[in-house]
Amino acid sequence: MPPVDEWHPSTVADWSDERRRARLRETRPGHGWKTLRHTRLALIRVAALLMIILVAFAQYWDRDVEPERDRLALTEPALLPIAEPAHPEKRDSAVVDLVGLGNLNASDTAASLPALREMGAVWAIRYDNRGIDTEVIADLIIRAAVMSGVRNIVLTGHSMGGVIALEVAQHIHIGSDRRLVGVLLDCTPLDLDSVRPESRGLGEDMVRWMGWLPGARESRGLRTAVETYARRDSFLDHSGVPGIRFGDFRSAVGQVLRDKIFNADAASNGLIESQFLAIVAGGATDNLRAVSRPAHGKPRPAIVFIRPHTASRDRVVDVAHTQQVLIDNVGGVDGNLLVVKPRGTGHANPRQRPSEYNKAIAQQVLPFVERYQARISRIAAAVPARYRHRDGGSAPQSPYSDRGSEVTAPPRPPAPGR
């Protein structure tokens, strides 16, 4: 008999599927269990699945979340000098720029607006990548102002940065001896209703996932997946059978890694969440009212709202709604509001449209702020000294200066020309 027949005495005719199944039943795990066999098998499968998930989660936490958390622990907010004032007489004034949602550093934005130098030195805020604390930002500005001999401060906020600017403005206006000259709001949503529904939905989904998924505030892997998905229109092929254009897909992933993951100036997930929550909190209107009243011997600042001439060009913020909120709160006959509508701009895009923004600042914003300041000064000079502190007395002593405020409070001024 050939060796093969000795090893396999069965032939094709001897094949039995019933015998095969019986053999499988005899050798599978738990075949000898008589009590709660199905329950015990289900528990083993669940335990194995949980073990796989725990191992994967441990790797995710150790390789993705913890390194980013350690890096973010070393970050802190900073005030960066951008440009000197255009005129020596403006050395006592400074313009501070704050960027919006998804951005960390306002340096490039401030540098694209040289017209701001006409109002004073230009500074930019770099946020703490762990989140936003407006009191810390205000403290940075006040310290720098005292050390530089700056008395007058103008805050500029782009998009969501305007919400932060208003809260910082309240700290400066009420809690320091520096004078807040003006607040420039560029396409700023003052409440959640000012955010267009599609953008609002994306923000709400982000906050929801941040709350549900551990490590989502720090994870670079999740950030890569989300940012790539947001760019899906650039690589999905909808012509004919749906598919992926892999060349475009690689380009999209490369852009995400370059701009959002390995870029030191990219905003972290946690910072983006705190920026969006600043809008959700809806306190911007209260901050606006607070800075639109004289405080501690200092007059109220000018409020400037910059928006596209055609509201529909802003696809993120309903600027018409924001404008109406501003008019209701600080507009009117005795208001301190100017609305600027440059042509050709979109949503808070001075880096893409620098000429339009600089033209609007030079021709409309700067003259308005100067006229407003001059009118305030004339009214203050015409009021008898015994009536100059109706709103609460002298300005508070700065914690960084040994002298009090040198500004006295005028009564509520009439409306400047709009």
What pLDDT digit, counting tens, does each position of 197-239 carry? Answer: 877 776 667 767 666 778 777 788 888 888 888 788 888 887 7
Is the distance from CB of 141 to CB of 82 less than 8 angstroms? no
Q: What is the DSSP letter of 63?
A: I
* pTM for the predicted model, two decimal places: 0.76
CA distance 210 to 355: 38
In the predicted structure, residue 383 carries a pLDDT above the cut 90: no
Its sign, for the CA torsion 394, 396, 402, 403, is negative
Q: Where are the alpha helices (DSSP H) in 93-245?
A: 107-111, 134-148, 160-175, 197-212, 220-230
Cβ neighbours of 215 (radius 10 Å)? 18
3-class secondary structure, 145: helix
CA 210 to chain centre: 15
Q: What is the DSSP letter of 365?
A: I
3-class secondary structure, 79: strand
Its sign, for the CA torsion 261, 314, 203, 159, is positive
Q: What is the CA radius of gyration of the chain?
A: 31
Cβ neighbours of 22 (radius 10 Å)? 11
Higher per-residue pLDDT: 116 or 244: 116
In the predicted structure, residue 405 carries a pLDDT above the cut 50: no
Higher per-residue pLDDT: 159 or 4: 159
CA-based nearest residue to 141, from 171, 182, 117, 184: 171
Domains and CATH numbers, the chain: 78-194+280-387 (3.40.50.1820), 199-264 (no CATH)
98 DSSP β-pair partners: 157
CA distance 158 to 125: 12
Q: Which amino acid is at 40?
A: R
CA-based nearest residue to 105, from 65, 76, 148: 76
What pLDDT digit, counting tens, does each position of 309-350 carry? Answer: 999 999 999 999 999 999 999 887 777 899 999 999 999 999
What pLDDT digit, counting tens, does each position of 135-164 carry? Answer: 999 999 999 999 999 999 999 999 999 999
CA-based nearest residue to 82, from 45, 35, 128, 119: 119
